């Protein structure tokens, strides 16, 4: 495995780690694939932990989505039917009434959920940095990781890649898993699928980590792009922004762009006194593939034997990526 910087330097090396299913309306192959990845992840992580002796901070903590409008209750009822139909009877979704919210969360301010909340027990959280470290440990035990080695060109016809220092490295198979930086590398080989258009774009995001004493029994709170994700060790991650990447430093944190944090505090005002102990920014890959949109890309590059790609799905890459990476 060749890594331009160091393992975890990309979008996977953050601290948010929310593993949340898509809504159950308009069920399709992408939603099914993500469901399977999330459902099996507890076993996959258990195997990874047993294999490496490391822990990944995984917990199936559930998710609570506050309902701001009366009409949303009807939508949630349809989602509940969808969960019954598509979640294989293993997991449940329910509508929690406003007077009953404290049963599921002590953090959620009832004023932020005037019409109750959507609850599911499929959602989970993981500590992305520890997870990536464990995956790296697994890879090192079965192969080799070379850090600080950048691939600048792919030559699948020769089964080789060209490195930034001009060297050429041969490989039986070439698998590109370079996040948003995969797009320029793959561009010459994807024309048939995308009429020559770029196959994705980078979307910058940032998040903060809070230090807050808790017993790690809370669910994820999620509303309009703001996440509150409890983590073990008395940490709580709060995310995230989404802006088209402007080509600047991927990890540059903008302290003026903290709307997501203020929004999160309206969900969980008890976190207002918590000290911000970490700030993190990076660029996620957002696939823009003809026919499959922003869903993860795991597979062969058509027409080019020996070339395949693994690019995370927009905002869900940690869940599906980790599962697929470890299994393959
Ligand atoms: C603020 C934020 C919050 C997020 N929250 C969540 C969340 O809660 N849950 C979730 O599931 N997802 C979340 N995501 C999305 C998720 O992080 C991504 O979908 C996922 O990490 C993408 O994984 P990847 O392996 O495709 O790319 P990356 O993790 O970016 O990995 C790509 C790696 O390739 C290396 N590389 C690049 N170019 C080259 C080259 N030419 N040669 C060699 N190496 C190269 C990079 O250095 C990098 O280490 C979040 C993202 C952000 C930014």
Average of per-residue pLDDT values in the chain: 92
Question: What local confidence, expressed as pLDDT, does residue 195 receive?
Answer: 62
pLDDT grade, residue 326 (50/70/90)?
very low
Centre of ligand 1 from the C-alpha of residue 244, in Å? 15
**Residue range 256-268: mean pLDDT, rounded:** 97
For residue 212, pLDDT over 80 is answered with: yes
**172 in Cβ contact with 305 (< 8 Å):** no
**Residue range 116-141: mean pLDDT, rounded:** 97
- Ligand 1 pocket test, pick from 10, 57, 148 with the greatest ligand atom count within 8 Å of Cβ, gives 10
pLDDT grade, residue 29 (50/70/90)?
confident
For residue 316, pLDDT over 80 is answered with: no
pLDDT (tens digit per residue) in 97-107: 999 999 999 99
**Residue range 268-294: mean pLDDT, rounded:** 90
d(CA 142, CA 140): 5
d(CA 154, CA 140): 24
> Could you tell me where the DSSP H helices lie in the chain?
29-52, 71-86, 128-142, 182-186, 191-194, 259-267, 317-327
Centre of ligand 1 from the C-alpha of residue 18, in Å? 14
d(CA 47, CA 106): 32
d(CA 283, CA 286): 9
* For ligand 1, atom 13: residue with the closest CA: 315
Percent of the chain with pLDDT over 90: 79
**Residue 316 Cα: closest atom of ligand 1:** 11
Predicted TM-score (pTM) of the model is: 0.93
d(CA 295, CA 285): 10
- Ligand 1 pocket test, pick from 3, 178, 280 with the greatest ligand atom count within 8 Å of Cβ, gives 178
| Residue from 17, 127, 14, 112 nearest 64 by CA | 112
Q: Which residue segments constitute the domains of the chain, with CATH numbers given? A: 1-328 (3.30.9.10)
Percent of the chain with pLDDT over 70: 92
**Residue range 262-283: mean pLDDT, rounded:** 98
Centre of ligand 1 from the C-alpha of residue 123, in Å? 20
* For ligand 1, atom 21: residue with the closest CA: 12
Centre of ligand 1 from the C-alpha of residue 17, in Å? 12
For residue 328, pLDDT over 60 is answered with: no
Centre of ligand 1 from the C-alpha of residue 316, in Å? 10
pLDDT (tens digit per residue) in 32-91: 888 998 999 999 999 999 999 999 999 999 999 999 999 999 999 999 999 999 998 999
pLDDT (tens digit per residue) in 145-163: 999 999 999 999 999 999 9
Q: CB count, 10 Å around CB of 32?
A: 12
Cα–Cα distances (Å) from 167 to 36, 154, 160, 161, in that order, read: 40, 12, 10, 8
d(CA 236, CA 265): 12
Residues touching ligand 1 (Cβ under 6 Å) are 2-5, 9-12, 14, 16-19, 150-151, 177-179, 181, 185, 205-207, 239-240, 282, 284-285, 311-312, 315-319, 321
- Ligand 1 pocket test, pick from 289, 318, 319 with the greatest ligand atom count within 8 Å of Cβ, gives 318
* For ligand 1, atom 19: residue with the closest CA: 317
> Could you tell me where the DSSP H helices lie in 53-164?
71-86, 128-142
d(CA 248, CA 130): 27
pLDDT (tens digit per residue) in 184-210: 999 888 765 566 555 788 999 999 999
* For ligand 1, atom 50: residue with the closest CA: 315
**Residue 182 Cα: closest atom of ligand 1:** 38
Angle value at C-alpha 315, between 122 and 271, nearest 5 degrees: 70
Between β-strands 117-120 and 243-244, what pairing exists: parallel, antiparallel or unpaired? Answer: unpaired
**63 in Cβ contact with 108 (< 8 Å):** no
Q: What is the DSSP letter of 24?
A: S
- Ligand 1 pocket test, pick from 33, 45, 242, 315 with the greatest ligand atom count within 8 Å of Cβ, gives 315
């Amino acid at each position: 495995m060749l890594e331009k910087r160091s393992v975890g330097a990309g979008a996977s090396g953050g601290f948010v780690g929310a593993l949340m299913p898509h809504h159950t309306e308009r069920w399709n192959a992408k939603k099914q694939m993500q469901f399977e990845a999330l459902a099996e992840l507890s076993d996959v992580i258990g195997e990874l932990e047993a294999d490496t002796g490391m822990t990944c901070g995984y917990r199936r903590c559930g998710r609570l989505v506050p309902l701001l409008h009366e009409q949303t209750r009807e939508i949630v009822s349809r989602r509940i039917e969808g969960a019954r139909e598509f979640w294989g009877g293993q997991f449940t979704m329910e509508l929690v009434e406003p007077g009953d919210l404290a049963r599921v969360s002590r953090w959620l301010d009832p004023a932020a959920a005037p019409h109750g909340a959507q609850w599911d027990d499929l959602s989970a959280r993981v500590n992305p940095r520890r997870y990536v470290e464990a995956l790296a440990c697994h890879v090192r035990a079965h192969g080799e990781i070379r850090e600080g080695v950048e691939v600048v060109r792919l030559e699948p016809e020769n089964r080789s890649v060209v490195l930034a220092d001009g060297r050429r490295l041969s490989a039986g198979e070439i698998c590109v898993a370079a996040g948003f930086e995969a797009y320029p590398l793959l561009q010459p080989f994807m024309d048939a699928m995308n009429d020559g258009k770029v196959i994705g774009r980078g979307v910058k995001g940032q998040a903060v980590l809070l230090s807050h004493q808790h017993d790690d029994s809370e669910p994820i709170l999620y509303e309009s792009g703001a996440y509150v994700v409890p983590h073990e060790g008395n940490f709580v991650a709060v995310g995230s922004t989404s802006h088209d990447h402007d080509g600047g430093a991927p990890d540059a944190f903008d302290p003026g762009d903290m709307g997501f944090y203020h929004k999160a505090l309206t969900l969980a005002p008890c976190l207002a006194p918590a000290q911000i102990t970490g700030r993190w920014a990076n660029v996620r890959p957002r696939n823009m593939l003809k026919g499959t949109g922003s869903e993860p890309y795991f597979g062969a590059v058509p027409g080019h034997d020996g070339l395949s790609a693994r690019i995370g799905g927009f905002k869900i890459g940690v869940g599906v990526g980790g599962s697929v990476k470890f299994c393959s």
